[in-house]
Chain A
Amino acid sequence: MGRRFDAAYVLEFLWRLLEYFQITMYIVAASFLLGMLVGFLVALPRLYRIPVLDRCSAVYVSFFRGTPILIQLFLIYFGLPEWAGRVGLNLDRVPALAFVILTYALNTGAFVSEAIRAGVGSVDRGQVEAAYSVGMSSYQAFTRIVLPQALAVSLPVLANLVIGGLKDSSLAFTVGVMEMTGRARTLGVATQHFIEAYIALSVIYYVVSLVLEHGFRLLEKRMLRYEPHLAGRGKRG
């Protein structure tokens, strides 16, 4: 089980892992932004009760919330090219990173759609009626009045999703993407100092989580500055 514990390695690994920090953050950011888009599109049919489509989006959400993300990752990374190959499409040249981001975006999308639904549900009906009464179209009322409020209300949930995405990004190494966790494994194998590598890695994840958490709390405070009764509704993490 490796060599004797040597604290000096922790410090050294810290720097060497940080070289891969941007890839991890790239995965987190890209999949969250794409996931917001997916989640928004998935939430719409259920918000407006569009027949058939609302059932599809309910099944989509249930599937992505009901299966482990690792299964989703393998289903998409191995399954999609296999299926594409059978119908005559060659996806061999597509980098693993693309599959990872696609999986995480689809996964995040399912959770985002639930957050948006809950957020929209929390906006007072009178807001929509007031928007109509001043002559807004239903599109305007939704994008200008309802959505901004819904987003502000669901910010804590979205913040949790970003932090969750950071933690899930550690699974990308399973399909061969070299991010921080993948790098920590190779450092561990090369030097036989596994525990030092994982201590360094944990420290990085922990600090990034804390920073994100703090940042989102400030953002939430700002977005809810006109609704003091909603601000500071407890902790999240």
Chain B
Amino acid sequence: MSFDLGFAFHALLLIASALPTTFMLTFVSTGCGLLIGIVVALVRLNNVRVVRHLAAFYVSFIRGTPVLMHLFLVYFGLPVLIDEVCSWFGAAGVSVRIPLVWFVLTAFSLTAGAYLSEVVRSGIAAVDRGQLEAAYAVGMTTSQAYRRIVLPQALAASLPNLANIVVGMLHGSTLAFTLTVVEIFGKTQLVAAQGWNYLESFAAAALLYWGLTVLIENIAAGLERRINRFAKGGVA
């Protein structure tokens, strides 16, 4: 009844052409976010003076404001900042030469970084203190102990949370359309506007996101089983 299945399928194929952009936005920002998150988490866990307060504010601010604000603040604010700094060195009009998508990636990375820092923090907290001490006991430096002993276990412990963030970033990447980046959602709007088939187009896009989300969740569950193969301790 009045649902054009043919058009929905046609729309799905058209929309799928924007998959690479969505993937790029999701995974680049999660990757950069993980780096930011690890640094911020380490700063806060080790109580680095002054910087610790900055890190705490960064996390609290990002978590307390919509992703859309991060996007707009970076998109409208960063060029002003860049041009100001560049003008000290006599260079003008630098910001207009930076591709738009870089600003989007910067904003999403900052978003992911704050959320991931909390994930990393709870992951590190889940690793027994004795592990670090044992690493020191066999003569590892702090950096070695973290890289070889603590962080791998922390990542394993925080895998379910990590998957949640990836899904969150996948869903959040739809906001890039507000800055005219054509990812899945932007493409859907174009397809829908052409044929005035909003229902079918958005149903197709929803199906695509739904499938991707279920896929990510399954991959994470599989990875978790694999990583926790050797974890047979008393802790659940």
Contact = CB atoms under 8 A, between A and B. Distances in A.
A83 B4 CA distance: 11
B77 A74 contact: no
Contacts of B213: 65-67
Contacts of A213: 64
A168 B66 contact: yes
A67 B65 contact: no
Nearest to B173: A68
Given A67-B210, A194-B76, A74 B198 contact: yes
Contacts of B61: 202, 206
A2 B95 CA distance: 13
A148 B61 CA distance: 33
Interface in A49-103: 62-63, 65-72, 74-75, 78-79, 82-83, 86-87
B199 A78 contact: yes
B3 interface: yes
Given A62-B210, A75-B199, A237 B63 contact: yes
Contacts of A71: 174, 185, 188, 202, 205-206, 209
A1 B213 CA distance: 36
Determine the main DSSP class of B at the interface with A. Answer: helix
B172 interface: yes
B209 A201 contact: no
A195 B77 contact: yes
B192 interface: yes
A188 B171 CA distance: 26
Nearest to B84: A5
B66 to A, nearest CB: 4
Interface residues of B, number: 42
Contacts of B188: 71, 74
B215 to A, nearest CB: 10
Contact of A69 (B73, B171, B205): B171
A181 interface: yes
Nearest to A85: B2
Given A66-B209, A202-B73, A78 B171 contact: no
Contacts of A205: 64-66, 69
B72 interface: yes
Contact of B202 (A79, A86, A206): A79
Contacts of A199: 73, 77
B80 interface: yes
B159 interface: no
Given A167-B65, A202-B69, A63 B76 contact: no
B161 to A, nearest CB: 13
Contact of B79 (A1, A65, A166): A1
Given A63-B210, A66-B209, A78-B199, A167 B67 contact: yes
A130 interface: no
B48 interface: no
Interface of A: 1-2, 5, 62-63, 65-72, 74-75, 78-79, 82-83, 86-87, 163, 166-168, 170-171, 174, 181, 188, 194-195, 198-199, 201-202, 205-206, 209-210, 213, 237
Given A5-B80, A70-B171, A86-B1, 18 more contacts: A1-B95, A62-B214, A67-B209, A68-B174, A69-B171, A71-B188, A78-B202, A83-B199, A166-B66, A167-B65, A171-B68, A181-B66, A194-B72, A195-B73, A195-B77, A201-B69, A206-B64, A209-B64
